[in-house]
Amino acid sequence: MGSIAFAQDLEPKGKIKEPQKIGEKMHNAFLSKRMTMATYQRDSLHRLNIAFNKDTTERGLNFRDLQSKHWDLMAKHANLEEKYKGLEQDHVEMNEKYTALIRSSLNKTEQLNMALREKGEQLLERERKLAILEGLIREQDSITNALNNVIKKALLSFKSDEISVEMKNGKVYVSMSDKLLFKSGSADVEEKGLEALKKLAEVLNKNKDVAVMIEGHTDNVPIKTAQFKDNWDLSVARATNIVRMLDEVHKVDAKTLTAAGKGEYTPKASNETAEGRAKNRRTEIILSPKLDELYKLINKK
């Protein structure tokens, strides 16, 4: 018995702890796997959150755009409704006159009946024209808005301080800074400006029923060179060169193009600061969908 106990004492004590090390390694491996899975899930949720925020922002922009259009249409509707109320008042007044004439004379009543029929026909015609006019205005807004979106998309690669696009008064205004188009005191279009005009011309060639006004603008710093007498002269030359380029190089229908030099007389900002003068040195390209049918209706007697 004593020898057996002695032999047991000689057994290496490290072997008793071996199972504990294996268990610890398995436990650590399990924790590492859970950590990897948790990290993956966290990253997935982060990506989903970014995508959700982007989608929410885009939907918000779309909603505000639609809301603005809704308000515009509501204003137009209110205006037409006011006109309709005026017509209703006219009709009430005619009925009152009609009643008074009946009391005075059968002969006058007959005359009034004829007048009322004529007035009624006139009122119906006016209401018909108002309905057509409202439809044409909606169509104009739709066409202008679509053109505005197409132009913005075509010029998306340019910086905001080089080109701005906005829609107002039923027209699309494309404002190009002079640093994009011209060198100081020059009417020759620079390379980057040529690229912008090319992209714009591609849109115009796909939208034939658009009148194009090119306006040259300057700041109020005087200029006098061998080529240009003053700022007005320079602004005219710049607008004319752009018109010729759209016509001769990009084959935009010349009948739709008009050039105008505004010089320093239509500033966009104050000329008292360098920043304001930079905003004033620009070329504005004003796009107006043709509304021949609308003008015919308005001018028709």
pLDDT at 5: 44
Structural domain contains residue 273: yes
Contacts of 214 (CB under 8 A, 6+ apart): 239, 242, 243, 246, 257, 258, 259, 260, 283, 284, 285, 286
Range of the domain at 93: 73-147
Structural domain contains residue 30: no
pLDDT at 20: 64
Which pTM was predicted? Answer: 0.56
Verify that 91 and 162 share a domain, yes or no.
Answer: no
Phi-psi region of 285 (alpha: psi -120 to 50; beta: other; left: phi over 0): beta
Domain stop point among 124, 147, 170: 147
Angle between helix axes 106-154 and 18-104 (nearest 10 degrees) is: 150
Residue 106, classed as helix, strand or coil, is helix
Residue 71 has pLDDT above 90, yes or no: no
What is the CATH number for 267? Answer: 3.30.1330.60
127 in Cβ contact with 84 (< 8 Å): yes
Residue 16 has pLDDT above 60, yes or no: no
Note the pLDDT tens digit of each residue in 203-212.
Answer: 999 988 899 9
Residue 12 has pLDDT above 70, yes or no: no
Which pair of tokens denotes residue 66?
Answer: 């639609």
Verify that 124 and 256 share a domain, yes or no.
Answer: no
Verify that 183 and 244 share a domain, yes or no.
Answer: yes
Pairing of strands 171-177, 282-289: antiparallel
